[in-house]
Amino acid sequence: MGFLTDSTHLHITTWVIGLILFFIAATGISKSKGIHMVLRLFYILILISGGALFFKWRVNFEYDIKFLLGILLIAMMEMILVRQAKNKSTNVFWVLFFIFLFATLFYGLKLQMGFDLF
Ligand code: HEM
């Protein structure tokens, strides 16, 4: 399964598309429920591509943190969209979304594969 683990490109592609779909759905640029459905498919692709990197390259505890943060970020996206649909408050989840987003990007870019910015 080299295409999943030789580089981080596939993983990056899946989460970039996922984040774009999330912002389209969350900001109301498109009111289509289909966007949320396609986003859920991308959650799975993010998990598969991230999970493959994890199981191949995990060398330390920081990988476990990255894994957890990625999952929490997906959970916040889902909470925001579901609560918006029910007209419930999303403020807390937006704050958590941005915290987890920065933390996930930080750890992803810190770890050894691909880009190594920090
Ligand atoms: C929307 C959610 C996610 C975002 C924004 C995200 C972001 C990133 C970023 C920025 C990188 C670094 C890419 C590079 O340096 O080339 C990365 C790598 C990685 N991600 Fe994610 N990720 C997400 C979800 C996940 C999930 C759910 C998992 C685990 C199942 C995961 C596991 C990994 C692993 C293992 C790496 C490789 C780390 C390395 O050695 O550089 N990610 N991710």
Task: List, for residues 6-32, the tens digit of each pLDDT value.
Answer: 999 999 999 999 999 999 999 999 888
Alpha carbons 96 and 115: distance in angstroms, whole number: 25
Alpha carbons 9 and 50: distance in angstroms, whole number: 11
3-class DSSP state for residue 88? coil
Alpha carbons 26 and 29: distance in angstroms, whole number: 8
Alpha carbons 96 and 12: distance in angstroms, whole number: 21
How far, in Å, is the centroid of ligand 1 from the Cα of 103?
Answer: 11
Check: CB of residue 35 under 8 Å from CB of residue 24. yes
The residue whose CA is least distant from atom 17 of ligand 1 is 108
**First vs last C-alpha separation in the chain:** 28
Alpha carbons 42 and 74: distance in angstroms, whole number: 10
Check: CB of residue 43 under 8 Å from CB of residue 74. yes
pLDDT at 86: 96
Alpha carbons 97 and 70: distance in angstroms, whole number: 11
Ligand 1 contacts (CB < 6 A) are 8, 11-12, 15, 18, 46-47, 50-51, 53-54, 57, 63, 66-67, 70-71, 73-74, 104-105, 108-109, 111-115
pLDDT in tens, 37-88: 999 999 999 999 999 999 999 999 999 999 999 999 999 999 999 999 999 9
